[in-house]
Structure 1
C-alpha cells in the first residue's frame, strides 16, 4: 500500500518540472511557487519513501545534492549564465534526483541546453526570422537576436531523464 502511495506522490515531480519548463519557454519566467511546491513535494515524497523502506542516509544524500545544486545555481546566476528561476528550479529538481542520478541529470541538462541554444541560434538567423515572426508572440520572442535562453526547458529535460533512476523512484518500485 505504501508503495502505491509513494508512486502517486512521485507524480508531483514530472508535473511541476514540465510546468516549469513550459512556463520558461513561453514567458522567460519560472514562478517561485513551482520551486517551492517541488520542495514541499519532496518533503512528502521523502517521508513516504522512508515509510516504504528508503534509508535516512539516502534522504540525506538528496538534501546534500539539492544544497550543492543550489550553491552551483546561485553561482551561475551571479555570473549571469542563468536566471534566478532557472537556479531555483535546478536546485529543487536536484533535491528529488539525489545521488547518484545527479550525474545523468547534469549531463543531460548540459546537452539539452546546448541543443536548445543551437536551435535558438538557427531560429534567430535572418532567413528563419521571417517565418518565426508569423507565429505566436512567445515564439517570436525566442527568435529575437540577443534574447536569453529559457534554460528551464533544458533543466526539465535533464530532470525527467534522470528521475526514473532516482532513489525515490527506486523506493517506490521495490517490493
Structure 2
C-alpha cells in the first residue's frame, strides 16, 4: 500500500512539474528534490537490495550527465535536466533507455504541436500580443518538462513500482 502511495506521489509531482513548466517555464528545485528524495523511500518499501538501488542510482547519474550535456549548449533548460535525472532514478537500467525513448518521442510531438499552433494561431486572427508569455508565443522556449513527465508516465507501468499495484 505504501509503495502505491509513493508511486502516486511521483505521478502528482510530475504532473505539477509539467504544469509549472507549461505555464511559467519553471520547474522548481524543490520539485526535483522531492522526486529524488521520494525514490529511496519507494525503493525501501518495494524491497530493493543494494544492487537494485545501485542500478537505479547509476541510471540517475547517467541521466544527469546526459541532461547537463544537453543543458550546456542551451538545448534544454536546467530544470529539465534536473527533472530528467531525478525521474530517471525511478527507472534504473534498462528502464532508463525506455524512459529516454518515450521522452524523446513525446518531445518531438510537443515540438510539432507548438510549431503548428504557432503558425496557425496568427492565421486564425489571434494576435502575438495575446500569446506573449505563453508557450504559443512565436519565440517562446519549449516547455520540455511536459515531455519528461509524459515520458515518465508512459514508462512507469513497466517498472517494479507498477507491479506493486
TM-score, normalised by the number of residues in structure 1: 0.85
Q: Please give the residue correspondences for 1:139-150 in structure 2 after superposition, counting only pairs within 5 Å.
A: 141-150=134-143
Indicate conservation of the 8 Å contact 2:111/2:142, yes or no: yes
Among 84, 89, 96, the alignment partner of 2:78 is 84
- Deviation per residue, 1:91-120 (Å, 9 max, x gap): 011011222222221111101111111111
Residue of structure 2 in register with 1:113 after alignment? 107
Q: Please say if 1:12 is aligned against 2:6.
A: no
What CA RMSD, in Å, does the superposition of the two structures yield over aligned residues?
A: 2.1
Indicate conservation of the 8 Å contact 2:56/2:88, yes or no: yes
Residue of structure 1 in register with 2:34 after alignment? 37
Q: CA deviation at 1:64?
A: 0.5
Quick one: distance in 1 between partners of 2:136 and 2:154? 27
Residue of structure 2 in register with 1:60 after alignment? 54
Quick one: distance in 2 between partners of 1:13 and 1:132? 40
Indicate conservation of the 8 Å contact 1:100/1:166, yes or no: no
Residue of structure 2 in register with 1:46 after alignment? 43
What are the ranges of 5 or more consecutive residues in structure 2 without an aligned counterpart?
Answer: none
Runs of 4+ in 1 over 3 A off after TM superposition: 130-134, 137-140
Q: CA deviation at 1:131?
A: 4.7
What are the ranges of 5 or more consecutive residues in structure 1 without an aligned counterpart?
Answer: none
TM-score, normalised by the number of residues in structure 2: 0.90
Residue of structure 1 in register with 2:19 after alignment? 22
Q: Please say if 1:155 is aligned against 2:152.
A: no
